[in-house]
């Protein structure tokens, strides 16, 4: 069996799917490998993630990964959500096939982008190194 029961469960019955009006933070990222995109919406109160929604044009593994990731950060303080790695998501799903690991990266990056958006919108200072480089182009030097 290529996919674990947990992956199948989160793929066929994904949690927290949808969009959110008046989200406190929105993160949208694209997957360089496949071109798929992922959007995460956060409702934040007192530095705690009260609610989270995701929408994606990603594959089944991306859907399962984001469903699991949203479950893992819901109700958690931002500091804990920032520590979420795609590896932890894959472990919580009981694994993904090697060629599908990159799909789980989309979930991690979208969560981080949404938190960064929240910090930026509210003028909250943060450590830049917590966030993946948005721009990594050696030709223009930015
Ligand atoms: Fe694009 Fe999985 S193949 S996110």
128/131 Cα distance (integer angstroms): 6
Domains of the chain are 7-125 (3.90.1010.10)
User: Of 34, 59, 137, 140, which one is the catalytic site residue?
Assistant: 34
Note the pLDDT of residue 136: 47
For the Cβ of 36 lying below 6 angstroms from any atom of ligand 1, the answer is yes
Partners of 17 in beta bridges: 54
d(CA 61, CA 127): 30
Q: Tell me whether residue 103 is one of the annotated catalytic residues.
A: yes
pTM, whole model, 2 decimals?
0.90
Distances (CA, A) of 114 to 11, 43, 131: 22, 10, 11
Stronger pLDDT, 1 or 107, i.e. the higher one: 107
Residue 50: CB atoms within 10 A of its CB come to 12
Q: What is the pLDDT of residues 79-136, one digit of tens each?
A: 999 999 999 999 999 999 999 999 999 999 999 999 999 999 999 999 888 886 654 4
Q: What is the pLDDT of residues 12-52, one digit of tens each?
A: 999 999 999 999 999 999 988 889 999 999 999 999 999 99
Distances (CA, A) of 93 to 9, 52, 80: 9, 19, 19
**Is 37 near ligand 1, meaning CB less than 6 Å away?**
no
Residue 11, token pair as written in the block:
């793929």
Does residue 142 register a pLDDT over 60?
no
Burial classification of residue 90, based on how many CB atoms lie within 10 Å of its CB (0-12 exposed, 13-18 middle, 19 or more buried): buried
Gap from CA of 121 to ligand 1 centroid (Å): 29
Residues of the chain with pLDDT > 70: what percent?
92
């Amino acid at each position: 069996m290529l996919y674990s029961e947990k992956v199948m469960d989160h793929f066929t019955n994904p949690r927290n799917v949808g969009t959110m009006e008046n989200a406190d933070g929105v993160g949208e990222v694209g997957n360089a490998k496949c071109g798929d995109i992922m959007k995460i919406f956060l409702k934040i109160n007192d530095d705690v993630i009260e609610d989270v929604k995701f929408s994606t044009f990603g594959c089944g593994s991306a859907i399962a990964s984001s469903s699991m990731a949203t479950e893992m950060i819901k109700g958690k303080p931002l500091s804990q959500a920032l520590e979420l790695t795609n590896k932890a998501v894959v472990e919580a799903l009981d694994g993904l096939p090697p060629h599908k690991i990159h799909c789980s990266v989309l979930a991690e990056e979208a969560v981080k982008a949404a938190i960064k958006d929240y910090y930026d919108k509210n003028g909250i200072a943060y450590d830049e190194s917590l966030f993946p480089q948005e721009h990594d182009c050696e030709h223009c030097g930015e």
